[in-house]
Amino acid sequence: MLDLGSNTVHLLLVDAHHGAAPVPASKLKMPLRISEHLTDDGCIDDAAVQQLIAFIIRGQELAEDLGATEIMAFATSAIRGARNGEQVLDQVRRDTGLDVAVLSGEDEARMTFLAVRRWFGWSSGRILALDIGGGSLELASGTDEEPDAAVSLPLGAGRLTRDLLVGDPPTPESVRELRRHARASIAEVVGRIRRVGEPRMAVASSKTFKQLARICGAAAASEGIHTPRVLTAVDLRDVVPRLAAMSTQERAALPGVSEGRSAQMVAGAIVAEAAMDLFEIEELVVCPWALREGIILQRLDGMAP
């Protein structure tokens, strides 16, 4: 599977069959951060396109060497929202022979929800799932594998950092503007999500939430994916102003925060805090599976005998 995300381009090789967990056999990634390679008119620049194509070719060679029989490729909000997104994918097709499917925001929410449901199972009841990517925030709620409500908002950590935050550390004025924007956007969909029912469990997926949970004291990644991890509203409210007062370099020194994502942590934390507050969530359970696993699971379901 090839994931052309807003922050990172991932190649995930899975030894998979129907009924199996999508456990990676090998992986390759590149922190491209497409959202930072947009021109003033909203186009992905040539440098990013060439890096993307070079990575795909390298990934195809690795997949072939390891005996992969199929490569699924998908793109999310960064390419979906770029003015030249279709042209970029046309060039990828010409240079690599690979067709890349562009997911809608609702598709992202639905596939992420499927992964969350499979991880926690039917006994978890109604789940409210939240995922903050580089370009968008996905929200979904349901009792089955298909959510009753699924929404995508342009509130990704990379997008908001680029568009609204000024300075390093960001100025208080720009932080307040980002906070107002995030809360107003989320408030518009709260009623739609809550009308389908109150969740028994609130779940967070994505790197942003995992890093926020780690900053707030959750177990390190080295302790394994089966170690329970949570993010509480109390801890998050405490950490948001501290993150906003730090420079990018200072945030990169925090436990669990990668240097490449440290610039986005303020925006991600503000969106997370807004969502937890407006949905009245006191605790989020962190799920190790997210969009990629959801897409793989759907593909494996299609292979059922």
What single letter denotes the amino acid at residue 193?
A: I
**146 and 209 co-located in one domain:** yes
**195 and 242 co-located in one domain:** yes
Structural domains of the chain, count:
2
**153 and 207 co-located in one domain:** yes
- Is 192 a member of any domain? yes
- Is 133 a member of any domain? yes
**76 and 165 co-located in one domain:** no
| The predicted structure's pLDDT at residue 304 | 66
| The predicted structure's pLDDT at residue 305 | 65
- Is 304 a member of any domain? no
Instruction: Describe the strand order of the beta sheet including 230-232 as a list of residue ranges.
Output: 149-153, 137-142, 127-132, 201-205, 283-286, 230-232
| The predicted structure's pLDDT at residue 86 | 95
Write the CATH number for 12: 3.30.420.40
| The predicted structure's pLDDT at residue 1 | 83
Burial track 28-49 (b if 16+ CB lie within 10 A, e otherwise): eebebbbbbbbeeeebbeeebb
**248 and 178 co-located in one domain:** yes
**121 and 264 co-located in one domain:** yes
**115 and 226 co-located in one domain:** yes
- Is 170 a member of any domain? yes
| The predicted structure's pLDDT at residue 260 | 84
- Is 298 a member of any domain? no
Q: Tell the residue number behind the tokens 């028994």, with chain if given.
A: 200
**Last residue of one domain, picked from the residues 102, 124, 151:** 102
- Is 300 a member of any domain? no
**189 and 137 co-located in one domain:** yes
Domain holding 265, by residue range, is 105-292
**132 and 91 co-located in one domain:** no
| The predicted structure's pLDDT at residue 265 | 97
CA distance 219 to 65: 35
**Last residue of one domain, picked from the residues 102, 137, 157:** 102
- Is 302 a member of any domain? no
**Which run of H or of E encompasses 300?**
helix 291-301
Look at residue 21 and give its three-state secondary structure: coil
Q: Which of 7, 140, 29, 162 is CA-nearest to residue 77?
A: 7
State if pTM tops 0.85: yes
**222 and 111 co-located in one domain:** yes
**163 and 93 co-located in one domain:** no
| The predicted structure's pLDDT at residue 21 | 80
Write the CATH number for 200: 3.30.420.150
Give pLDDT tens digits along the chain (305 positions): 889 888 888 888 887 777 778 877 778 888 888 877 888 898 999 999 999 999 999 999 988 998 888 888 999 988 998 999 999 999 999 999 999 999 999 999 999 999 999 999 999 999 999 999 999 999 999 999 999 999 999 999 999 999 999 999 999 999 999 999 999 999 999 999 999 999 999 999 999 999 999 999 999 999 999 999 999 999 999 999 999 999 999 999 999 998 889 999 999 999 999 999 999 999 999 999 999 999 999 988 887 66
**82 and 169 co-located in one domain:** no
- Is 129 a member of any domain? yes
**Last residue of one domain, picked from the residues 102, 127, 149:** 102
